[in-house]
Chain A
Amino acid sequence: MQVKSLLLTGGALLAASSGAFASGFQVGLTGAKNVGMGGTGTGLYLDQASQFFNPGAFAFAPTGFQIGGNMAIPRISFRPGDADQGQRTLQNTNVFPFSGFIGFGPKEGKWRVGAGVYTPFGSELHYAQGWEGRYSLTDINLRSVMAQATVAYAITPQFSIGGGVTTLVLGDVDLQRDIPVQAQGSTAPAHAQLTGKAEHKVGYNLGVMFKPSDKLSVGISYRSAVNAHVTDGDVKVTGLPASAAGSFTATKFDVTLPLPDVYSFGVGVRPTDKLLLAFDANLVGWSRYQSLDFRYLNGVLGGNALSSSKRQYQDALAFRIGGQYKVTDNFTVRAGTFYDFSAVRDGFVTPETPDADRIGVTAGLGYTFGERFGIDASFLFEDFMKRSQSQDDLISNGTADRVAGTYKTTIYVPGVQLYVKF
């Protein structure tokens, strides 16, 4: 019940951002210290966020409670490929990924137990009214909140293991697009909206940490995949001509969205007491996302009981480097950078996830009040490579259900976190 009370007290700021920080629709804005250091953390044991990054490292982390939130401010532009009507600017929606963790255990002891909530995946985009791709997508809002319970044990002072059980406590999807069918006397085409909630699927994470000295730590972790399975979602079609009603009889839908597994390797180096350097590499198993298949219940949508759209994501690597420097006993500065490879192949970019290789730069500050209390602030800037696809690319890939053109995204994410050490 730890998890539930955390949810209520933590000022849960609902998730979602357009793939901030990691490929595909991962969010991963977990732990302000980590965000400030380029998203590293697998080889570190800084605070409670290690439950997320590497539960093995959690055994060496101090105990305490921390809660943090981010405001992701995306700036997304789209320029149509063939029919150039000038640049489209999305209605930029600020979203609020958050995380909160609590950890207990004896101060110098060998074990830790903890719990946390965080927002590992999400995407919210609203395209301009009447944009070129409205028959592909007009709006998407994907949200997820995961809760985790964690145990960690230091087998020796140099070596620890840990694991967590994760649950998708909240997962909801809201997808909308126009249907290329128009009624007599109407100036707008019909519109479809699919909304639903995911089942509470359970997953896990595991990690080990090897800490030969205070100057070096090495971690490996794994977070399992979870299939976000929406059953009994609602289909709502508006503006439909009466004569087409027979082709749009579905009232419910069923879909599975795979949330991929992540392999991470990280190293932490402490050349001096004041300086910490970190390096992380992640491999995200996006290749399990091959197609997005909606199954319609109680009828058909657009004459089909099934719709299948190719995704064919590929596993994606990310490399991160970061560091922190203790300017005074109370004041710490952080910085980092990362490069994240896209999960989406060329010619497969969809309006719901305009993914691209991206480079990120981060900065952070930390200040402690006395022995127990502290605040961390982080700032992340992410620059997506410009990405184009032509109608011919789409036709040859069998992906003509999406839009030809060029996407460009940047994201700014300020974040703040408060913590108390027990």
Chain B
Amino acid sequence: MTTLFSTVKTARPALALLGLSLAGLAGCQTNIDAPPSASAGTLDFTSYVSVGNSLTSGYSDGGLYNEAQATSFPALLAQQFATTNKGPAAFVQPAFSGAKKDGSGYIKLQIVNGALAPVVPSAANKFLGEQVAYTGANPALPTELEAYTGAQPDNLGVPGISVLSASAKASLVPQVAGAAKAYGVLNNFYQRLLPAADRGTKDYVTYIGQKTPTFFTCWMGNNDVLTYATNGGVAVATNPFSGLTDTASFRRGYRDIVTTISKAGTVKGVVANIPNVTNIPYFNTVTVAAVAAAFKAANVASPGVFIQVNGTPAVRLATSADLLTLTAQSLVAAGAGSTPGNPLLNQYVLDAAEITTVVTRTNQLNAIIANEAARFKVPVADMNTFFTSIATRGIYTNAVNNTATFASGNLFGLDGVHPTPRGYAVVANEWIRVINNYYGATIPNVDPNTYRGVLLP
């Protein structure tokens, strides 16, 4: 066989000569008729501004860091808008400086005791070697991050922000409205964006009002239910923004936001609604059944998982209707929930009643979002339906089946709440679909497979 292969090489040139004489014919590449070329339609993306929370900022794996920020869905949208020749010359995101590129730090998968486990960076583990941006210089805000000093960004996403905390006009309760005004000293991600003089005095709505967009996206409201839900349906007394936002406050705040960013309806844009947070891996990875099985394996007599509840008795056995949080994983591994005397605490359990409350409020807030969108004549990207579809069916992207499964599903990062770059690409395509449908534009989609899922050690 070796002989056979070597003769191939020597025989090729002779044939190539014949091929060359026909090169004129053979040189033409086949062409597939292009779909309608990228067009912005009547839209103008030269100053695209995105308003929102962590999902807009590019937050992933429990942190905001440069690599994930680079694939935030607004950054991907700006990149696709640019193909229409009406895109922004530059889409500015509030990146951290190179030496502190890992920002607030991010969760990594590591092998712990022979098994893969998400490990949260902290001072104790030297932030997993990440180049974090904590200043350590502000006793009032221990999580203070390196200030962003560039011009006001186009991506205005602030992790953690809710409608209630974004607008001083949302709540009629003076303390809550005051907290929204003072949000720049409460939220380290908002603080780093504000000039020192504005911290503690400028609410988010005023801040975004400084921009003059030609097009905007607005994805707000998630934290008006998510903060409460991810804390197991427990509001923190010292935090006015940790409960479920009431509908009246939400309506006032949401209208304030959209009025401001759309310049009273004169600027075109898109708003997105709130996904059903109980679909995310944060609530579907640590299951009662799995924990009960683990307890049983350790102790045959184990009757199940004991959880703390409001009421008397204050402890009961969990059922399949109870959702355990992803953060409960390390606690149950250490024995929490295995005995009535050591129950899994309330903030790690979203029980059936809490689920109903959260889902009901989500639907109410989404109805308000739909109403306000109609008032300002902008379309709604129905992320609620989209995320539910992903949670139930997954989404195929060219031979890859992406699902809402924690870590291995490619779409959700290691905090179980926020998308991976792949997930953000899929989300960007949903925005594009809505923009194209509503405004008659032909913005090309992103190829999600270009962007990573969860990285493994």
A residues near B (Cβ < 8 Å) are 7-8, 11-14, 69-71, 73, 75-80, 82-87, 89, 94, 96, 130, 132-136, 170, 180-186, 189, 241-244, 377, 379, 381, 386, 391, 394-395, 400-404, 406-410, 412, 414, 416
Contact = CB atoms under 8 A, between A and B. Distances in A.
A79 B398 CA distance: 12
Given A87-B34, A135-B399, A379-B22, A241 B7 contact: no
Contacts of B29: 75, 77, 89
Interface size classification for chain B: 35 or more
A395 B393 CA distance: 11
B444 interface: yes
A112 B7 CA distance: 30
Contacts of A86: 34
B97 interface: no
B456 A135 contact: no
**How would you classify the secondary structure of chain B's contact residues: helix, strand, loop or mixed?**
mixed
B398 A11 contact: no
B1 A11 contact: no
A130 B29 CA distance: 20
Contact of B399 (A76, A78, A136): A136
Closest 5 CB pairs of A and B: A241-B456, A136-B399, A83-B447, A184-B455, A83-B445
A251 B158 CA distance: 48
Contacts of A403: 398-399
Contacts of A78: 32
Contacts, number: 149
Given A73-B26, A87-B32, A395 B8 contact: no
A77 B31 contact: yes
B453 interface: yes
Contacts of B429: 82-83
Contacts of A132: 398, 447, 449
B197 interface: no
Contacts of A133: 398-399
A8 B429 CA distance: 56
Interface stretch (B12-20, B220-228, B248-256): B12-20
A173 to B, nearest CB: 15
A408 B445 CA distance: 21
Contact of A386 (B3, B4, B22, B32): B32
Give the one of A8, A80, A84, A377 with max B CB within 10 A: A84
Contacts of A7: 4
Contacts of A84: 35, 444-445
B331 interface: no
Contacts of B109: 184, 243
Interface string B332-368: 0000000000000000000000000000000000000
B30 interface: yes
B192 interface: no
Contacts of A69: 11, 15
B22 A394 contact: no
B19 A241 contact: no
Interface string B30-46: 11111100000000000
A386 B3 CA distance: 40
A96 B12 contact: yes
